[in-house]
Amino acid sequence: MGNKKAEARSTRSGSASDAGSDRDEPSRSTTLAGGDWDRRRFMRSVVAGTAAAALGGVSASGTAAAEEIQLDRSKWVASASSTYEDAGYDPSNAIDGQNATHWRPDDGADEWIEIDLGAPESFYKVEMVAPRSETDDNPLFNQWPDEYEVQVRSDTSEQWRTVATASGNNHTESVRFSTQTERYLRVYKTSDDNNWSLGELFAYDGGSAGGGPTPGTPTRPDPTYEGPPTDPETGMAQYGRWTHSLIGAGGYVTGIYTTEANPNVVYHRNDVSGTYRSDDAGEFWYQVHDGYPARGVSVDPRDEDDIVLVKRDGIYHSSRAGENYQDPDLSVEDLWSHPVERETEFAKPNGTFRGCGNVVARDPNDPDLLVAGAIAGGNDVPCLYRSTDGGATWTNLAGSPSGIQTADVRFDPFNPGTVYVASQPENRTSGRSFEAGLWRSTDRGETWEKLTDDAPVEFRFDPDTDSYLYGTFDPSGGNGSAGTVKRSVDGGETWDEFTQGLSGDAFETMAVRPGEVFVFSGESGYGAKTWRLETGNSSWATYNDGGEDTVDDSEWWDREPAAIADPSAVAFDALDPDQWYMTAAYAIYRSTDAGKQWEYSAKGNEEMVGMSLAADPDPESDIVHAGIADLQYFRLGKDGRELDVHRVPDLMMNQRVAVSPDDPSRVYVGSANYATYNPAMGKICISHDRGDTWARAGVTYDNDDAEGVDEVEGTGADGEPTGLPADNAPWWDLAFAGPPPTRCPVGLSADPTDADHVVAGLATDSIAYESTDGGKTWTALPGTLVGYGDQPGEFWQVFFAKGNQLAISGDGSMIAAPKIRGPAQYYDREAAQWTEAGIPFDGFANPFHVERDPNTDGRFIVSFIDAVGGLYETRDGGETWTKLLADNSYAVAIDQQHPDRIAVASIDEKAILLSIDGGSNWTRLEQLPYLGYGDNMAFSGDRLVVGVAGSSYYTTDISDVLDTSPPPAPTALRSPGHTSTTVDLAWDAVTDPETSVARYDIYVDGAKQRESRDTTATVSGLAESSTHEFAVTAVDAAGNESPKSNAVTVTTDSGADTTPPTAPANLRSPKQTHHSVHLNWDASQDRESSVDRYNVSVDGSKRTETDDADRTPVNGLESDTEYEFFVTAVDAAGNESDESNRITVRTTEHPGRGDGSGKGADGNDEDGDGYEDDHDGADEEEARQDRREARNNRRAGGRQR
């Protein structure tokens, strides 16, 4: 940025924080000292190029702005044809530096003012300024000749030569011409009117630039790119680490703005993706500010970097917009202020009237004066705001109307300080009602008068006639399309239909320039039909018929209906009268022949609502499948970086995309809750060739006109599709605040092991549907979703249902995430029912999105929002869960090729978090240029693709985040044991300094045989008496493998089993009677065969044997006697183990009664210890005690279960 520009900016206005501080520019109440400040002010206008030049009908052509030099007026002498009555209007007042004084001639034609420059001077521009007040800087008069000429001569003997003609209209008249070198200058009035008051007159030299160009051949200065770096392959803007994907427009572009300060700089706004800027007259666009959309924009005519935005949460201002990407240390907060903030909705950029009018306006007679309008906030707060310092600070206008929905704000160019505001009565997208009408203020917004209830959708002032206004009107009362055109001839107080020469009823926008008023229609079959009203005419004439030959959109992807749909705004180039810009639904267009031919000019503008993403499962593929609101299916190439294929299946909103690794060429897509075609809801379409062609899945109704649908897959006996239910819902009812409930697929998932197996969850439905024949037929799964409280669960329906609500794994397990209509839950196929997932919340949270891992059966990750939130993982189909992250989270993605890579959109961090170790550690990626959160994501190669709600898709290369360093090699590899067919291995654990060790790979004779997540492993399946070399490597979460450990050589045993089992351990006696001892032990292990039996020895001699694995009673003992016991194990080969530990146990005393049977009264195991109860029948007390113990044991066991 140049120093002159920075100085000019600093002298005009400060930020909100320095308002009222000591500045070069005095306050409005300060009396100006001579002409110094005025000279600085007008010099800044010259440096930037003036608004008055365009409004006055003179092309603002000229040299590079910074080269203009104002001629010294100290030697000038002024004379005139006449002076109006009072001598106080002497012509010398026009060059005295006192703008409050002025020259005024007599009324009538042939009046002139002549300047003797004192000597020949070179100049190419004359600027004339209306008189101003001494106290408040307001114009005293705005009176100019209707027609006048600029004339020159070298001496008094020569005839005057006319070098320019012009018509007066505005506070400042700026007239340019080819450079002249003359001594005498004259401005000559040729019209017979009574209006002329001249405050100051200046002349300018072109300096080293060589003066002005020849009339009729304007010269455009070379553009200076102020935007972010661009991708060398796609040419798209790179916002930090995020590169915009090249798709090519898409959303509703709602306004466009040129500035006299720099004819190369153009701004436009969108309904959902923010404000964009071009530095090269519309060739390329990039985002400014935070990516959120604006409802109104105003660019200072003196400085292309000074801009005001009206957004959903208030008013923003920057005087340094061009520095957004010039200094990486500058943040958005450094460059933008937020002088007006409101928690309730301040403006509705995506509302019914999003493409109508502009809710902020700047007085063309005083660029520091702005008025902005808001939507009523549900209280009595006035809806209008004013700035008197170019947008730096704002005041709520106490006298302005409340309860309105500001639709358009315009200043009257003929009457300084007069401003109009239009309000529309309804907003279809919010269901709210407002006070409609047109208001006017004649005192800079202090007081307001309601002129009429008949409110235009948008309006314009006649460029040539005071008090004449034109407006488009919506007779339906709020659906956003204007049905007629009206005119007011009394300053907006009354309006009459003015449609002579017009046709149709879809009048979308208007534009004016001196001598012309234009109306644009969106009803044509292809282009934008245009009508023109020339000054003095009473009927419109067709200017452009809107035919297909009037539009060149060859640079755009194919789309129907018409390319130029719903024109929203038109702007004229500040330098070239033949260069126009138009915004419309889906794109920006540019004309170089004054609106006769239009060409697509939207590269860099990416405004789409991404609904779903799915990367091609083939590791060699760079394809990413994208589902987009309004615009159906897109196949992206280069790992999501640019458009490959666009298709229009039989649905309007492509909400869900599903692909199976079993067949990557098979793609399923599902519709959203929205319709403009024969209702394109509740449908699923299928492609068998990666998205090139499409067929319709089984649904309940047909649409033979759907583009790209070749056939219906699966029909019933009557030839109609069968299966999924769908509501034949109408388009929005205007009395309803939102769309009707519709059974659109909000959950869609294809089995990763079987591409024919696909499941779907439909909005407002409590059951899931399943197809096992690739979508030809569908059946309802038994069981209904679990809800909250007494309410049944259902898949959540919303206008744009972001987040997948149903997913299936390779083992058939399923997880449902029905958002606010039910908790996260898993499907129990054996019980045929949905069961709430046992996630250990510390409070309450709603599931947002479920993502499955196609590589691991039963592995799902679910994101949660609201009170608690978090990110949770299950590896067993939903029965048990682990918390991976505590943040409230939106979209989730698992890398299909590297399942330990996980990305999640964190609401708390307002950023994408990346883990490369399965969720143990997280890295915060640089914030997206769009300050929303990722609504859908997918990994493709080493790139992460993120879809946001409005700015299409961004990609980032994550290779710099990934760990590329392998962990160190495992050490101390050893073999603790082996058999004839197995070898045991053990090693010391490895620590990875960058991430974590995910597993160990075991190599046998140089080839990898198995993996282990522990530091031990058993290699089996080896031959008898064979020798092998073993080694181990460590693999980290990023997939990096370490060098091999030390090698270990082991020879397996021969085939004969000569190895005894391990000794029984922990021999104990849980119970004794008067003639028996019960023994328990820990079972032995045998590596080569199996344990066949146990030998029980009493006092050193074998007493009995048993094939029970860990217990036996020893009976026939004497009462009240001590015995010593030990146990050995014998395997199938007859090898006997070492003895167990020895224990000494005493039998109890004989009770003296009973039948001596040694069993319970009923012969049962009543105490639950695994033995038949051993007590005398006569010992009733002992029997009762045993039974009580048995009952207690059973109860305790039941509680534990």
Cα 927 to Cα 946: distance, rounded to the nearest angstrom: 12
How large is the average pLDDT for residues 940-949? 93
CA distances from 94 to 117, 173, 1198 (A): 14, 14, 106
| 404 conformational bin, left if phi > 0, alpha if psi -120 to 50, beta if neither | beta
What H or E segment, with its residue span, contains residue 51? helix 51-55
518-527, 956-965, 1151-1160: range with lowest mean pLDDT: 1151-1160
Helix (H, G, I), strand (E, B) or coil at 852: strand
Q: What is the structure's pLDDT at 55?
A: 30
Cα 850 to Cα 859: distance, rounded to the nearest angstrom: 11
Q: Are 646 and 669 in contact (CB under 8 A)?
A: no
HSE at residue 564, side-chain half, CA atoms within 13 A, is 40
Distance of alpha carbon 779 from the chain centroid = 35
For the beta carbon of residue 1070, count every other beta carbon within 10 angstroms: 12
pTM reported for the whole predicted model:
0.67
Which residues of the chain form CATH 2.130.10.10?
247-600, 610-957
Q: What is the structure's pLDDT at 142?
A: 60
Which residues of the chain form CATH 2.60.120.260?
31-209
Q: What is the structure's pLDDT at 1157?
A: 41
How large is the average pLDDT for residues 705-710? 35
Q: What is the structure's pLDDT at 290?
A: 81
Q: What is the structure's pLDDT at 427?
A: 65
Nearest to 639 by CA among 231, 227, 925, 929: 231
Give Cβ neighbours of residue 238 (< 8 Å, ≥ 6 apart): 228, 229, 230, 231, 244
Under DSSP, the state recorded for 218 is -
Q: What is the structure's pLDDT at 777?
A: 83
Q: Are 384 and 445 in contact (CB under 8 A)?
A: yes
CATH code: domain 610-957 is: 2.130.10.10
How large is the average pLDDT for residues 723-740? 34
Sheet of 997-1004: strand order equals: 1007-1012, 997-1004, 1027-1036, 1048-1051
What H or E segment, with its residue span, contains residue 279? none
How large is the average pLDDT for residues 380-403? 95
- Of the options 2.40.110.10, 2.60.120.260, 2.60.40.10, 2.40.10.480, the CATH number for the domain spanning 31-209: 2.60.120.260
Q: What is the structure's pLDDT at 931?
A: 59
Q: Which one has a higher pLDDT value, 77 or 997?
A: 77
How large is the average pLDDT for residues 1181-1193? 50
User: Could you give the percent of the chain with pLDDT greater than 70?
Assistant: 79
Q: What is the structure's pLDDT at 144?
A: 76
Nearest to 475 by CA among 490, 492, 491, 495: 495
Chain segment 1000-1009, per-residue pLDDT in tens: 999 999 999 9
Q: Quick check: 41 pLDDT over 70?
A: no
How large is the average pLDDT for residues 526-554? 89
How large is the average pLDDT for residues 600-623? 92
1065-1200 fold: Immunoglobulin-like (2.60.40)
Chain segment 364-391, per-residue pLDDT in tens: 999 999 999 999 987 789 999 999 999 9
Identity of the highest mean pLDDT range in 3-17, 746-760, 1030-1044? 746-760
* Burial zone of 571 (CB within 10 Å; 0-12 exposed, 13-18 middle, 19+ buried): buried
Nearest to 741 by CA among 779, 794, 787: 794
Q: What is the structure's pLDDT at 291?
A: 78
Q: What's the CATH superfamily of 971-1051?
A: Immunoglobulins (2.60.40.10)
CA distances from 1184 to 1123, 1161, 1189, 1191, 1192 (A): 28, 10, 9, 11, 12
Helix, strand, coil: what percent of the chain each, to 5?
5, 40, 55
Q: What is the structure's pLDDT at 733?
A: 29
Which residues of the chain form CATH 2.60.40.10?
971-1051, 1065-1200
For the beta carbon of residue 1101, count every other beta carbon within 10 angstroms: 6
pLDDT bin (cut points 50, 70, 90) of residue 138 is low
Q: What is the structure's pLDDT at 910?
A: 86
How large is the average pLDDT for residues 609-617? 92
Q: Are 23 and 90 in contact (CB under 8 A)?
A: no
247-600 fold: Methylamine Dehydrogenase; Chain H (2.130.10)
